[in-house]
């Protein structure tokens, strides 16, 4: 499955191949110090387990329980974005994302999140999509804010990163309000 975002930007469900696992691992490894600030999984990512992760994501896509896309700029893998915890009983999902540090500041993730929200609302018929960001992560928080998500609350000590608790800001948007403020 491919979602075209811009002429040279697309989101692809990645096949579980050794080549794709190596490519993903290389981007994570190059960005490990940057990613680990807010994504504790970055420290535990090893090539040996990455193919298993791609296989898991592929199965979850087939089951329609998670949709994890690789972000590709000019056909080069630069990060991930996903609809997680797709709940059929209440038609909701959470978006998670990360992008290679050298590709930030060009609106790539904002455009990808917008495209994924459209996919969730108009292809999967979801009603609510939400994003959780560390309170201190201003770059990540700017994305849902730019797209018109509503700040719904703050989970005090909502996550633990490297032994330190951090507040999590929760943003949400419902289908009937999507596009009204952006």
Q: What is the CATH number of the domain that holds 145?
A: 3.40.630.30
The answer as to whether 182 is a domain residue is no
181 has a pLDDT exceeding 60: no
Please report, to the nearest 10 degrees, the dihedral formed by the alpha carbons of residues 84, 95, 134, 170 taken in order: -100
**H or E, element range at 175:** none
143 is a domain residue: yes
Range picked from 47-51, 53-57, 166-170 for highest mean pLDDT:
166-170
Residue 121 has pLDDT above 90, yes or no: yes
Does residue 114 lie in a domain region?
A: yes
pLDDT band at 31 (very low <50, low <70, confident <90, very high): confident
Give the domain extent around 150: 2-177
Task: Give the integer Cα–Cα distance in Å for 26 and 40.
Answer: 17
Q: What is the pLDDT of residue 52?
A: 74
Tally the domains of the chain.
Answer: 1
Give domain status of residue 27, yes or no: yes
CB 102 within 8 A of CB 84: no
Model confidence pLDDT, tens digit, residues 70-109? 999 999 999 999 998 887 778 999 999 989 999 999 999 9
């Amino acid at each position: 499955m491919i979602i075209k975002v811009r002429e040279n930007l697309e989101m692809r469900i990645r096949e579980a191949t050794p080549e794709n696992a190596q490519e993903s691992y290389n981007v994570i490894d190059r960005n490990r110090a940057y990613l680990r600030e807010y994504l504790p999984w970055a420290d535990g990512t090893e090539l040996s387990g990455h193919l298993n992760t791609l296989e898991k994501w592929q199965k979850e896509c087939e089951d329609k329980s998670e949709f994890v896309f690789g972000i590709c700029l000019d056909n080069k893998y630069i990060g991930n974005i996903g609809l997680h915890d797709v709940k059929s009983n209440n038609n909701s999902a959470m978006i998670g994302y990360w992008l290679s540090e050298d590709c930030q500041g060009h609106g790539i993730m904002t455009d990808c999140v917008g495209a994924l929200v459209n996919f969730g609302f108009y292809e999967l018929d979801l009603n609510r999509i939400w994003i959780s960001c560390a309170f201190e992560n201003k770059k990540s928080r700017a994305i849902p804010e730019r797209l018109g998500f509503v700040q719904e609350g703050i989970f005090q000590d909502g996550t633990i990163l490297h032994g330190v608790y951090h507040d999590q800001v929760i943003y949400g948007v419902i289908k009937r309000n999507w596009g009204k403020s952006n």
